[in-house]
A and B are shown apart, each in its own frame.
Chain A
Amino acid sequence: MSATSSVTSDRPVHAPVNSQIDHDPMHGVEVRPGPIEQFTYDDAVVRKFTFAILLWGVVAMLVGLLVALQLVLPVAAETVIGGVRPFAWMGTTFAFLYETEWLSFGRLRPLHTNAAIFAFGGNAIFAAVYYSTQRLCKARMWSDTLSNLHFWGWQAIIVAAALTLPLGFTQGKEYAELEWPIDLAIAVVWVGFFGVNFMMTLLTRRERHMYVALWFYIATIATVAVLHVFNSLAIPAGALKSYSVYAGVQDAMVQWWYGHNAVAFFLTTPFLGLMYYFLPKAAERPVYSYRLSIVHFWSLVFIYIWAGPHHLHYTALPQWASTLGMLFSLMLWMPSWGGMINGLLTLRGAWNKVAADPVLKFFVVGITFYGMATFEGPMLSIKSINALSHYTDWTIAHVHGGALGWNGFMTFGMLYWLAPRLFQSRTGGLWSKRMAESHFWIGTIGILLYIVPIYWAGITQGLMWRAFDESGALRFPDFVETVMKVMPMYWLRVIGGSMFLLGMILCAVNIMMTWTLRPSRYTEHVQSAPALGPVYRDPPTPGSRLHANTEFGHKGDVFLQGRWHRTWERLPVKFTVWVVIAVVVASALELVPMVVAPMFSTTWREKNIPRIASVQPYTPLELAGRDVYVAEGCYNCHSQMVRPIWAETKRYGDYSKPGEFAYDHPFQWGSRRIGPDLARIGGLRSYQWHVEHLEDPRMVPGSIMPAYKHLSTQKLDYNAIQRRVNAMAMMGVPYGDAVKGSNAATMAREQSESIAAEVATQGGPTGLEDTKMTALVAYLQRLGTDLHAPPPADAGAGK
């Protein structure tokens, strides 16, 4: 078929096909080239990943739209325009969005983030890796079985996530919410199926040197494995319940080491690999600078891993760690921009093609958003800027610029380039190029309509939270005022997000219609290339270019010429080991003093996380309440961290101390304040207030919080409480006699009854004994109160 051959021969016209390259100083000698071998590429698995991108892309963005609507609808119903409430119908029509247990914002928001990152983004990465690796290695994936296990395993994990998260099974750590059995499955699929398959393909390749895209894939696979394993370490306390082995400050440190590097090694490095393959292919232009690739790759890998603590500025994290996080983020600016420069400058001389080709348009805007996000990231990690931006929508705008602009658009560009080739389109092209053009414009405007208002909202919130009047009082002491102020911005986000979703749907339609243009049977083009021989002689190392200098200078100059790197590029194992060393050494320099040393040394513990004698473990009932807090995803809207900033202590009370979180497995500091901070909420409201507020948050006018009526009817499982207390005790939480027999269960029952009685006495609802409501309220009433409590005479359980 002539159309087929036209799309499969992607070789740029100017690329030499000769093999007379021995004279090139960058090339060594194949001493004994292997025999010519014939092979085919496995495009079937890439097609599967492509379908998965479309499906999960639509799902992730639909859930995103849903949670965006949940933030505006409650107040919309109350909005008065010209004396009437035109949107009152929304309040009743959409009441189920606030009252249905498994539809609440706190449970769906993790579903949205996980689906966007790991389902949409993940499948995009896999499609890119499986398509390009085979061609860059001149080898079929090592094992079709592993490829398929990887594909189906990953989809099963996504389905498990989509079921468990709305049901409230979560570890309560952002972007790492999935419970321990799913975490184990992720480790097996990622390392055992994907990692092994990829590395074995590298080892059986027929291309001597690894192209830069492969370096980024190596960094992705190795680092994500390390991050996932160490962040997910947990003690199971049931089939779908576990507690992080780290507590408080240490858990926060590990979580944001993971969280930030999920951005780095899940959303950045694989997409840079994608860029390095698909951009020059689509533009038919050589990559701008090989040397820049080397420098920015290694600087990115080594520096990124340190930057995590910038998510914890002004928190109870020791200041030195926060400072390191800020500084390494600043140093990350240029390594990140190296990728942008190499991408954009590759298009020199091809800008006329950009005007005509939607694929290149997506890539140009995607790379531009990458540049913007990687400038903004270092800027936001400057402490004084972070003091304003943290916990506000500014962060949300930042990540959506990155996710929609960079990850989304790079994926779309790749999809439009791949589809005609993967599906061997009869027309040789997409079903509709015009539709792809429309998608580009709708998507671009959608992103802007999303992020610009949300930047505005974020800065507005930040400024309102810190505004004082003449008398020295907060100008907006009611938190809810600062929420209502940004409602118009939230509506614009709904519009922008809808447009982006519409674009995604157009993309899905276009790709599926292109699929209908496939031939009755896909042609598997037979490739041929010589196997790699056992012996390869590197070109001679160049001499120093310097004349009058020390020996050290000469050595340095030889190093800077980078020929050694050319050698590394043909040694995948060595290359991988060095990537792992870079990542692990950098991680260890932060994590050992912060997380490991304090476990074994009192000196290190007192230095970083000084104990506070009055801070005691939660009572069994409070622990159960904490589990409810985690399961409902309260941390998605409420922080538990009063920063040592005047406006903040004025609003919330004394700033949080590291020792206050000694028994918090996992930490619940949060990253966003859609509602007020709760670190010092304990004792501030009556039991009755909490119960009535949780049952109907609309008692606070303007509140957009979901209702938690179900907690007043759902019964506590006291046996589970005993198991959970025992699991905590295993990690060294001093529960004393509570772990014996069913002591914890008895203590929990007694406390639940006493709280139910207290609520009834204060005039609240009756009959709350043994309900999850009493547990959650018990937990809330405990929050932040230990700091000023008298130290206990004995070290029993609870206070």
Chain B
Amino acid sequence: MSRNKAADPLLNHEYDGIREYDNPTPGWWHVLFLLSIVFSFFYFLYYEVNPESATNESTLLAARVAETKRIFGAVGELSPDEATIQAMRGNAQFLEVAAGIFIGNCAQCHGRDGTGGTGTNLTDDEYKNVNRLEDIYSVITRGAGGQAMPAWDNRLSQNERVILAAYVANLRGSATGGKGPEGKAIAPWPPIPAPEKN
């Protein structure tokens, strides 16, 4: 590139006055071009021919397993019964996880604070399909009201649905106002258990 341009060999043809030099292609250009080809060859071998290599799916699965272990590793599988949901109502760590699930999946219809929108108000004493704590789990799992409340069993794991049920139970009485009552008033939940040590 820094070559004295007087030394550039000019080709003896012209097109409408345009001339061309017979300069060689730059060396670094060749090197990078060849490197990209060599790299590509081995990359393809490694990822597409080698059966042991990671795939998008295996990477995702590993992330899911690691994350599940990180969050729920200590408790294993939570069973969707009244005792477990009641215990979770006092577990600050899992309630925080559940809050994230609620904001991400439920707030669109039930409001960020649970006071309702197109979905029912979860902070009042009236419920349409719930009498006991585990009914909350069932409604989350299987949905209700035709398709109005969707089923979440394909989207949330059982553990996530259990702690979400606990979170939703705790929403009751946490705010005032919002959407008017639907369904019938039910007996109050048992008191929230004392916080567990994490």
Chain B 138-170, CB-CB to A under 8 Å as 1, else 0, gives 000001011111110011000000000000000
Nearest Cβ in chain A — how far from B153, in angstroms? 9
Partner of A341, one of B15, B26, B39, B107: B26
Given A21-B13, A323-B48: A471 and B96 interface contact (C-beta under 8 Å): yes
A334, A338, A471: which contacts B100 (Cβ < 8 A)?
A471
In the complex, the 3 A-B pairs of residues with the closest C-beta atoms, listed nearest first:
A473-B100, A477-B104, A334-B33
A16 B104 Cβ-Cβ under 8 A: no
A330 and B104 within 8 A (CB): no
Which of A66-74, A157-165, A180-188, A287-295 is found at the contact surface with chain B? Answer: A287-295
Closest chain A residue to B155 by CB distance?
A653
User: Are B17's CB and A290's CB within 8 A?
Assistant: no
Which of chain B's residues have a CB closer than 8 A to the CB of A89? none
CA of A473 to CA of B37, assembled, Å? 41
Q: How far is the CA of A653 from the CA of B105 in the complex (A)?
A: 10
Q: Given known contacts A280-B18, A330-B36, A345-B1, is B59 in contact with A478 (CB within 8 Å)?
A: no
Interface residues as binary, B43-87 with A (CB distance below 8 Å gives 1, 0 otherwise): 110011000000111011001100100110000000000000000
A27 CB contacts on chain B under 8 angstroms:
12-13
Q: Mark B7-48, 1 if CB is under 8 A from A, else 0.
A: 000111111111111111110010011001101100110011
Most buried by B among A277, A334, A683, A762: A334
Whether a CB of chain A sits under 8 angstroms from the CB of B129 is no
CB distance from B151 to the nearest CB of A (A): 7
**Contact yes or no, A649 B148, CB < 8 A:** no
CA distance A422 to B49 in the complex (A): 57
Q: Which residues of A contact B (CB under 8 A)?
A: 10-12, 14-16, 21, 24, 26-27, 132, 135-136, 138, 207, 209, 211-212, 277, 280-281, 286-293, 295, 299, 314, 319-320, 323-324, 327-328, 330-331, 333-335, 337-338, 341, 345, 348-349, 469-474, 477-478, 643-646, 649-651, 653-655, 680, 683-689, 692, 700, 758, 762, 781, 787-788
CB contact between B29 and one of A10, A136, A337, A645 (< 8 Å): that residue: A337
Q: Answer whether A338 and B21 are a contact pair too, CB < 8 Å, given A136-B16, A286-B10, A472-B71.
A: no
Smallest beta-carbon distance A359→chain B, Å: 15
A706 → chain B closest CB, angstroms: 19
Q: Answer whether residue B174 sits at the interface, using C-beta atoms and an 8 A cutoff.
A: no
Contact at B63–A646, with CB atoms within 8 Å? yes
| Further 6 A-B residue pairs, CB within 8 A, beyond A207-B15, A655-B57 | A26-B11, A287-B20, A473-B97, A654-B154, A686-B148, A688-B118
CB distance from B21 to the nearest CB of A (A): 5
Selected contact of A473 from candidates B17, B23, B36, B103, CB within 8 Å: B103
Do B43 and A327 have beta carbons less than 8 Å apart? yes
Contact present for A290 and B22 (CB under 8 Å): yes
A-B pair number, CB within 8 angstroms: 196
Query: Which chain A residue lies CB-closest to B49?
Result: A320
Q: Which residue of B lies closest to A9 (CB)?
A: B17
Nearest residue (CB) in A for B68 is A472
Please tell me if the beta carbons of B33 and A299 are within 8 angstroms of each other in the complex: yes
Contact status of A320 and B48, CB under 8 A, knowing A644-B56, A651-B104: yes
Expressed in whole angstroms, the minimum distance between the Cβ of A681 and any Cβ of chain B is 10
Report chain A residues within 8 Å CB of B56.
314, 319, 643-645
Q: Which has the most chain B C-beta neighbours within 10 Å: A335, A645, A650, A758?
A: A650
Alpha-carbon separation in the docked complex, A138 to B16 (Å): 8
**Interchain CA distance A212-B13 in the complex, whole Å:** 12
B99 part of interface (Cβ distance < 8 Å)? yes
Contact B12 A10 (CB under 8 A): no
Q: Are B15 and A136 in contact (CB under 8 A)?
A: yes
Sampled A-B contacts (27; CB under 8 Å): A11-B17, A12-B17, A15-B14, A138-B16, A209-B13, A286-B19, A289-B25, A290-B21, A295-B25, A320-B48, A323-B47, A333-B32, A338-B25, A345-B23, A472-B67, A472-B100, A473-B101, A477-B105, A477-B107, A646-B67, A655-B57, A655-B60, A683-B150, A685-B109, A689-B108, A787-B154, A788-B154
Taking a contact as CB atoms under 8 Å apart, the answer to whether A473 and B99 are in contact is: yes
Interface residues of B, Cβ cutoff 8 Å to A: 1, 5, 10-26, 29, 32-33, 36-37, 39-40, 43-44, 47-48, 55-57, 59-60, 63-64, 67, 70-71, 93, 96-97, 99-101, 103-105, 107-109, 118-119, 143, 145-151, 154-155
Indicate the member of B16, B48, B147 with the most A CB atoms within 10 Å.
B16
Verify B15–A211 contact, CB threshold 8 A. Answer: yes
Q: A758 near B146 (CB under 8 angstroms)?
A: yes
Query: Is A689 touching B23 in the complex (CB atoms < 8 A)?
Result: no
A334 and B36: CB pair below 8 A?
yes
Task: Name the residue of chain A whose CB is nearest to the CB of B6.
Answer: A349
* Chain A residues within 8 Å of B143, by CB: 683
Partner of B18, one of A286, A334, A469: A286
A762: which B residues are within 8 A, CB to CB? 118, 145, 148
Known: A477-B104, A644-B56. A686 touches B18 (CB 8 A): no
In whole angstroms, what is the CA distance A293 to B25 when docked? 9
How many angstroms between the C-alpha atoms of A570 and B97 in the bound complex? 71
Report chain A residues within 8 Å CB of B32. Answer: 333-334
- The answer to whether B103 touches A654, judged by C-beta atoms less than 8 angstroms apart, is no
Do B13 and A331 touch across chains, with their CB atoms under 8 A apart? Answer: no
Complexed CA–CA distance, A80 and B192 (Å): 39
CB–CB A686/B60 < 8 A: no
Q: How far is the CB of B138 from chain A (nearest CB, A)?
A: 17
Q: Measured between alpha carbons, how far is A274 from B148 in the docked complex, in Å?
A: 59
Do the beta carbons of B18 and A211 come within 8 Å of each other?
Answer: yes
Q: Could you tell me the distance in whole angstroms from the C-beta of B194 to the nearest C-beta in chain A?
A: 21
- Please measure, in the bound complex, the distance between the C-alpha atom of A787 and the C-alpha atom of B155, giving whole angstroms: 12
Cβ B13 vs Cβ A686 within 8 A:
no
Contact assessment for B18 and A323 in the assembled complex, using a CB-CB cutoff below 8 Å: no
Query: Which residues on B sit within 8 Å (CB–CB) of A11?
Result: 17
Q: Which residue of A lies closest to B61 (CB)?
A: A644
**Contacting pair B60 A471 (CB below 8 A):** no
Instruction: Output the least CB separation between B94 and chain A (Å).
Output: 9
Q: Which residue of B lies closest to A12 (CB)?
A: B17
Residues of B within 8 A of A14 (CB): 19
Closest residue of B by beta carbon distance from A207: B15
Which of the residues B29, B108, B147 comes within 8 Å of A683, measured between beta carbons?
Answer: B147
Task: Establish whether residues B97 and A289, one from each chain, have CB atoms under 8 Å apart when the complex forms.
Answer: no
Q: How far is the CB of A603 from chain B (nearest CB, A)?
A: 18
What is the CB-to-nearest-CB distance from A44 to chain B, in angstroms, rounded to a whole number?
Answer: 19
Neighbouring A residues of B60 by C-beta, 8 Å: 644-646, 649, 655
Query: Is B147 within 8 A of A686, CB to CB?
Result: yes
Interface centre among A14, A292, A645, by most chain B C-beta atoms within 10 angstroms, is A292
Complex CA distance for A643 and B55, rounded to whole angstroms? 13
Chain B nearest CB from A570 CB (Å) reads 11
Closest-by-CB residue of A relative to B97 is A471
**Docked CA distance A334–B96 (Å):** 51
Q: How far is the CA of A292 from the CA of B25 in the complex (A)?
A: 5
Contact A781 B147 (CB under 8 A): yes
User: B12–A469 contact, CB under 8 A?
Assistant: no
Q: How far is the CA of A335 from the CA of B97 in the complex (A)?
A: 50
Residue of A nearest to B55 (CB): A319
Cβ-defined partner of A478 (8 Å) among B21, B44, B107, B148: B107
With A291-B25, A349-B5, A685-B108 as given contacts, are A331 and B40 in contact (CB-CB < 8 Å)?
yes
Which of B99, B105, B108 has its CB near the most chain A CB atoms (within 10 A)? B108
- Interchain CA distance A286-B12 in the complex, whole Å: 11
Within the assembled complex, what's the spacing in Å between the Cα atoms of A472 and B99? Answer: 11
Give Cα A655–Cα B155 distance, bound, in whole angstroms. Answer: 11
- Report whether B20 and A290 are in contact in the complex, using a CB–CB cutoff of 8 Å: yes
- Min CB distance B72 to A, Å, is 10
Q: Across the interface, which residues of A come within 8 angstroms of B36, CB to CB? A: 330-331, 333-334
Whether the Cβ atoms of B23 and A289 lie closer than 8 Å is yes
Please determine whether B100 and A286 come into contact, CB atoms closer than 8 angstroms.
no
Once the chains bind, are A289 and B150 in contact (CB under 8 Å)? no
> B96 to chain A: which residues have CB within 8 Å?
470-471, 473
Task: Give the CA-CA distance A689 to B43 in the complex, in Å.
Answer: 48
Min distance, Cβ B74 to any Cβ of chain A, angstroms: 14
Select the residue from B21, B107, B108 with max chain A CB neighbours within 10 A. B21
By a CB distance below 8 angstroms, the chain B residues around A649 are 60, 64
Query: Which of chain A's residues has its CB closest to B29's CB?
Result: A334
